[in-house]
Chain A
Amino acid sequence: MPITDQHRRKRGRNLALAGVLVALVILFYFMTLARMGGGGS
């Protein structure tokens, strides 16, 4: 099946979403570390 421009856009959006999910995992990991270290207000 030929890869259309639409496919490319959808793939771009899916990759962006995957990036967001990975970023969230990292974000919450470091947030937990910071809070456990007594850095919360």
Chain B
Amino acid sequence: MARPSAVGIGPDAPNTRLGEEARVADFFALLKPRVAALVAFTGFVGLWLAGGTVHPFLAAVAVLAIALGSGGAGAINMWYEADIDARMTRTRSRPVPAGRVSPSAALGFGVVTATFAVMTLALATTYLAAGLLAGAVLFYVFVYTIWLKRRTPQNIVIGGAAGALPPVIGWAAATGTIDLFPLLLFGLIFIWTPAHFWALALYKAEDYARASVPMLPVVAGQAETRRQILLYAVALQAFALAPWALGLSGALYGTGAVVLGAGFVALALALWRRGTVSLARATFAYSILYLFLSFALLIVDRAVGR
């Protein structure tokens, strides 16, 4: 598998002792811990909502495995995208482009971590959950990172499927099956992802343009991106309210989803009209809070309703 030539990294880079300076913290950073934390949390919610009879220790192992699967995929992503990361101010201090971890070490670490995560999930829970985790990792690496990222502004739309799978994986870990509820949560994250990433891309458009990544603001402009964010924020409400409308969750979640969704749509509307950097930043920050609170509400609602 050929990797694009990197700028300032790799064996030809000025730093001939590349990777020898690597610290444990650098390998931890390769796991994209903030992303892995959100992935683990949504996976935990899927597992919790399934309400199976899985042993608490095995449930904890399952959540850890989901996080490590995400982390392994993130490390492989950082190996492949080191040339892009080196050109972007947001990412150029990452371990590989900064020369603290060699590309081959990042790749090896990612593959070992992801493989370990899938095998552990299979041993601790169900083969279905492990298969889904393997699918998510492979989809993220081959479909999103290698195929779509550099080719189309729909990269994060389609690629978002990988990040949307954890609730389904958690559910499958607890029950060995897939049901409507986790599929709705998959839809929620899937539709949330473009609005989330495009808000970031709005104020990092120069970075993406410099790295030749065809993110929507680079290809279609700021106005079209703001319009798309609004459309996705509105469409998101269908999936956010569906668990309540279908009787899968209670009024507590339903009320919270309405309030959180109204906030998201209001921000997206303001961003569409005015398009300031501060509004783009606010929309990005709110989108993270929105997803976290929505899933937290699902847990609280189920706990109260039991």
Contact of A31 with B123 at beta-carbon distance under 8 Å, contacts A39-B54, A41-B52 already known: yes
Instruction: Check if B58 is an interface residue, CB within 8 A of chain A.
Output: yes
B69 to chain A, nearest CB (A): 15
Instruction: Check if B24 is an interface residue, CB within 8 A of chain A.
Output: yes
Contacting pair B55 A37 (CB below 8 A) = yes
Instruction: Check if A40 is an interface residue, CB within 8 A of chain B.
Output: yes
Binary interface encoding of chain A residues 3-41 relative to chain B, with 1 for a CB under 8 A from any of its CBs, else 0? 000100100110010000000000110110011010111
Which of the 9-residue segments B172-180, B185-193, B262-270 touches chain A?
B172-180
Contacting pair B57 A41 (CB below 8 A) = no
Contacting pair A40 B21 (CB below 8 A) = no
In the assembled complex, the Cα of A34 lies from the Cα of B163 at a distance in Å of 29
Binary interface encoding of chain B residues 78-120 relative to chain A, with 1 for a CB under 8 A from any of its CBs, else 0? 0000000000000000000000000000000000000000001
The residues of B that contact A30 with a CB separation of less than 8 Å are: 57
Instruction: Check if B155 is an interface residue, CB within 8 A of chain A.
Output: no
Contacting pair A41 B125 (CB below 8 A) = yes
Contacting pair A9 B23 (CB below 8 A) = yes
In the assembled complex, the Cα of A35 lies from the Cα of B56 at a distance in Å of 11
In the assembled complex, the Cα of A34 lies from the Cα of B120 at a distance in Å of 14
Instruction: Check if B224 is an interface residue, CB within 8 A of chain A.
Output: no
Q: How many residues of A contact B (CB 8 A)?
A: 15
Across the interface, A41 reaches (CB within 8 A) one of B20, B24, B54, B123, namely B54
Instruction: Check if B124 is an interface residue, CB within 8 A of chain A.
Output: yes
A9 to chain B, nearest CB (A): 6
Across the interface, B57 reaches (CB within 8 A) one of A9, A16, A31, namely A31
Q: Which residue of A lies closest to B57 (CB)?
A: A34
Contacting pair A40 B61 (CB below 8 A) = no
Contact of A31 with B20 at beta-carbon distance under 8 Å, contacts A39-B57, A41-B54, A41-B174 already known: no
In the assembled complex, the Cα of A27 lies from the Cα of B57 at a distance in Å of 10
Q: Which residue of A lies closest to B177 (CB)?
A: A41
Instruction: Check if B22 is an interface residue, CB within 8 A of chain A.
Output: yes
B30 to chain A, nearest CB (A): 13
In the assembled complex, the Cα of A40 lies from the Cα of B120 at a distance in Å of 13
Q: Which residue of B lies closest to A19 (CB)?
A: B24
Contacting pair B61 A41 (CB below 8 A) = no
Q: Which residue of B lies closest to A10 (CB)?
A: B20
The residues of A that contact B22 with a CB separation of less than 8 Å are: 9, 13
Contacting pair B173 A41 (CB below 8 A) = yes
The residues of A that contact B61 with a CB separation of less than 8 Å are: 27, 31
Contacts from B to A (Cβ < 8 Å) = 20-24, 52-55, 57-58, 61, 120, 123-126, 173-176
Jot down 12 A-B pairs with beta carbons below 8 A, ordered by A. Answer: A6-B21, A9-B23, A31-B57, A31-B58, A31-B123, A39-B53, A39-B55, A39-B57, A40-B58, A41-B52, A41-B54, A41-B175
